[in-house]
Amino acid sequence: MNKDTLTMINNRTNEQYEFDILDATRGPSVVDISSFYKQTGMFTYDVGYTSTASCRSDITFIDGEKGELFYRGIPIEALATKHSFLETCYLLLNGHLPKRAELINFDLELRHRSFIDENLHRLIDAFPDSAHPMSILASGVSALSSFYYEHLNVADEQEYQDMARRIVAKIPTLAAFAHRKSLGIPFIYPDIDRSFTENFLYMLRAYPGGKMRRTVDGTGDIMPIEVEALDAIFTLHADHEQNASTTTVRNVASTGAHPYVAISAGISALWGRAHGGANESVIAQLEMIGDVNNVDKFIAKAKDPNDEFRLMGFGHRVYKNFDPRAKVLKQLQDQLKDELNLDSKLMEIAHKIEEIALNDEYFIKRNLYPNIDFYSGVILTALGIKRPMFTPIFVIGRSVGWVTQLMEFRNDKKSKIARPRQLYIGE
Ligand code: CMC
């Protein structure tokens, strides 16, 4: 028997089938079942793709058992604490960290591409003030396909690279506009003298004319520590292999649809509270719990099989250990506690939940640990960011991951239209 194959026996017919085992450079090997239907006349059944690898990828690796995450082979802890988000973007898009000159050019290019067409302002302006920023953002990114349709030759590598940089550069502006629209206040144009992350905070906070609101340190300008914290948050969200929104982006792109609408579909997929929308729900839940004395009651609700209540910010499909991104954020929370007026009441409730859950049989048995969303909200609140903007901030970080995965999909000769089958149980 060839050791690099998996043999399967159909116990109904005694027929035997063999499938190739493909080795990963890290992580579990995979069984190539692309000939499964041809060989067996049957489909495989895997709801939620819990055991299915949908593509080959060399971008991001997660070791869910150990709680480790790497972008292009570099541990997330090193990227979030020693490198900027722009360096991380460059790394994801190009496969290596930038040299000094490369970073300067990349930074300059993104600054210049951060503006959006005036007609797009008008489109955003047409939304009701009550619109959720995620709805405006998904629509705005989808609309980019109209503004840049003429400019995109999907067969051209350079055009694709331009598309990628355009997405990363314009999404913060669209997100900031969406925020200001939801508050009914005038839009603030990007300031190209400010760095990527500082500029985003500026577009959220500035008064018309560019004057800044007073900050915690009383200077009236954006504090470097705020920029560092948000920059680390962007880096921690930058990519996460084949999650629901990335898979959506790849699936939409697989039909040959325009890249901007594929990214817009990813934004919509991210919005759900089981995915990126959890960060907004965590703070809502902490506020609902209201007091450390109520934590036990809510833990009991989360454990009750007849209650749909779940602890938001807990659990993950892949991590069966502490989410490494959550570890970095927890440290960041502690560092920022005194300098940024972190909400001590919410932190107290969060710590109590964490302490109980990490020692509770229900959570231990199911490997339920805090995830990235459990810690991001408290920091974002301290940065003066409103709750509906939490998921758009996830989008800003993840946009580079989506475009990188999109380009990998496009360059993979084995890519096909995504078209799963079903187990038909109807008439
Ligand atoms: N609170 C209470 N019980 C939970 C939770 C939770 N947060 N998460 C999972 N469980 C239980 C679930 O009830 C089930 O129990 P049982 O085996 O008795 O039926 C078991 O754990 C397995 O859960 P599952 O839903 O089958 O697991 P999944 O891998 O399909 O779902 C998840 C993963 C993230 C959707 C889920 O853990 C969840 O809903 N968490 C809360 C939402 C959240 O924080 N999402 C953010 C994820 S991290 C950001 C991102 O990358 O998107």
The CB of 314 under 6 Å from ligand 1? The reply is yes
Mutational pocket test of ligand 1: of 304, 323, 371, the residue with most ligand atoms within 8 Å of the beta carbon:
371
| Residue 285 CB less than 6 A away from ligand 1 | no
d(CA 357, CA 353): 6
Closest-CA residue, ligand 1 atom 18, reads: 305
Per-residue pLDDT tens, the chain, 427 aa: give them: 557 999 999 999 999 999 999 999 999 999 999 999 999 999 999 999 999 999 999 999 999 999 999 999 999 999 999 999 999 999 999 999 999 999 999 999 999 999 999 999 999 999 998 999 999 999 999 999 998 876 667 678 888 889 999 999 999 999 999 999 988 899 999 999 999 999 999 999 998 887 876 666 677 789 999 999 999 999 999 999 999 999 999 999 999 999 999 999 999 999 999 999 999 999 999 999 999 999 999 999 999 999 999 999 999 999 998 899 999 999 998 888 878 877 778 889 999 999 999 999 999 999 999 999 999 988 998 888 999 999 999 999 999 999 999 999 999 999 999 999 999 999 9
Task: Render pLDDT for 69-85 as a digit per residue (tens, 0 to 9).
Answer: 999 999 999 999 999 99
pLDDT tens digits for 159-186? 888 999 999 999 999 999 999 998 889 9
Q: Is the CB of 275 under 6 A from ligand 1?
A: yes
Question: Catalytic one among 107, 231, 239, 373?
Answer: 373
Coil, strand or helix at 60: strand
CA-closest residue to ligand 1 atom 47: 275
274 lines ligand 1 (CB under 6 A): yes
Q: How many CB atoms lie within 10 A of CB 226?
A: 25
Q: Collect all residues with Cβ–Cβ distance below 8 Å to 342 and sequence separation of at least 6.
A: 333, 336, 378, 379, 381, 382
**Ligand 1 atom with minimal separation from the 313 CA:** 44
Q: Which residue has 């109904």 as its token pair?
A: 12
Nearest 5 degrees, angle CA 356-CA 369-CA 305? 70
Is residue 151 annotated as part of the catalytic site, yes or no? no
Cβ–ligand 1 distance for 302 under 6 Å, the answer yes
Q: Does residue 316 carry a catalytic annotation? A: yes
The residue written with tokens 């577009």 in the block is 203
The protein residue whose alpha carbon is closest to atom 50 in ligand 1 is 275
Residue 404, C-beta contacts closer than 8 angstroms, at least 6 positions apart: 59, 92, 93, 164, 239
Ligand 1 center to residue 324 CA distance, Å?
17
pLDDT value, residue 150: 67
- For residue 290, the CA-to-ligand 1 centroid distance in Å is 23
* Sole residue written with tokens 């959506």: 248
pLDDT for 68: 97
Amino acid (one-letter) located at 290: G
Tell me how far the alpha carbon of residue 232 lies from the centroid of ligand 1, in angstroms. Answer: 25
pTM over cut 0.85: yes
Among the listed residues 83, 179, 258, 316, the single catalytic one is 316
Mean pLDDT of the chain: 93
188 sits in which H/E element = none
Residue 318 DSSP one-character state: S
Atom 48 of ligand 1, nearest CA residue: 371
Q: Which atom of ligand 1 is nearest to the CA of 366?
A: 21
Q: Name all contacts of 99-107 with Cβ < 8 Å and 24+ positions apart.
A: 106/165, 107/195, 107/196
Residue with tokens 């972008």: 71
Please give the distance, rounded to the nearest whole angstrom, from the Cα atom of residue 315 to the centre of ligand 1. 5
